[in-house]
Amino acid sequence: MTSGTIAASIAEVDEDGALAEVRKALDAGTDPLVLVEALREGMSTVGERFEAREYFLPELILSAEIFKQAISLIEPHLGEAGRPSGGAVVIGTVQGDVHDIGKNIVATMLRCAGYDVRDLGTDVPPGVFVDTAKETGAALVALSGLLTVAFDSMKATVEAFADAGMRDSVKIIIGGGPVNEMVLGFCGADAYGRDPSEAIALAERFLG
């Protein structure tokens, strides 16, 4: 199955193989979202191998670049999927953290699922999240962080929304390698996602 081959190619950090399979699947009329999910599965395997120390930073960086190239091939076909807009979402890596691989994957998958995503990048201060949510009318904000220092920034961002009187109208989700139930309780966010697929499920849950 092509999607399985794509996932395997990403998992093996096989740039030529992954891109060739994506092109073949697109030519065959495969649903773009099926391909995005295959890419996500492959990246998930890369992450597992990285955590198990089977892969190291070079493999992680290269796999993210392959993912990016594959998405650039898929994006022109997304309109053909006929997905209506699911609403606005603001996403970013919180202040004090510059990791963005996971955040980029979530942002891409949200776009592919039909959401209007405003990606603020990395090292984003709390006030920028608040201002952007006001500007876009987003009812969902996604905070990403990989370092433990990000926990305080996540908490500060949630508090900034409360101070702005927006806490009841904006749902806030958090994610990143070390994020768990304890971090969720500390930050005061509404939910956390263990992987990009959970982030999409949370978006559907909160935005309908």
What CATH code is carried by the domain that includes residue 11? Answer: 1.10.1240.10
* 29 and 104 together in one domain: no
Domain residue limits at 32? 2-81
Q: Which of 66, 81, 96 is the last residue of a domain?
A: 81
The total number of structural domains in the chain stands at 2
CA dihedral (204, 198, 176, 121) in degrees, to 10, reads: -40
Same structural domain, 119 and 174: yes
CA distance 53 to 50: 5
As a whole number, mean pLDDT of residues 67-94 equals: 81
Backbone angles phi, psi at 113, to 5 degrees: -85, 0
| Same-domain status, 31 and 133 | no
- Final residue of a domain: which of 50, 81, 112? 81
Is residue 196 scored above 90 in pLDDT? no
pLDDT category at 90 given cuts 50, 70, 90 is very high
Whether residues 105 and 33 fall in one domain: no
**71 and 95 share a domain?**
no
Looking at the fold, whether 127 and 203 belong to one and the same domain comes out as yes
Tell me the whole-structure pTM to 2 decimals.
Answer: 0.77
Confidence (pLDDT) at 85: 67
Q: Sort strands 171-175 and 140-144 into parallel, antiparallel or unpaired.
A: parallel
Higher pLDDT among residues 86 and 123, named by residue: 123
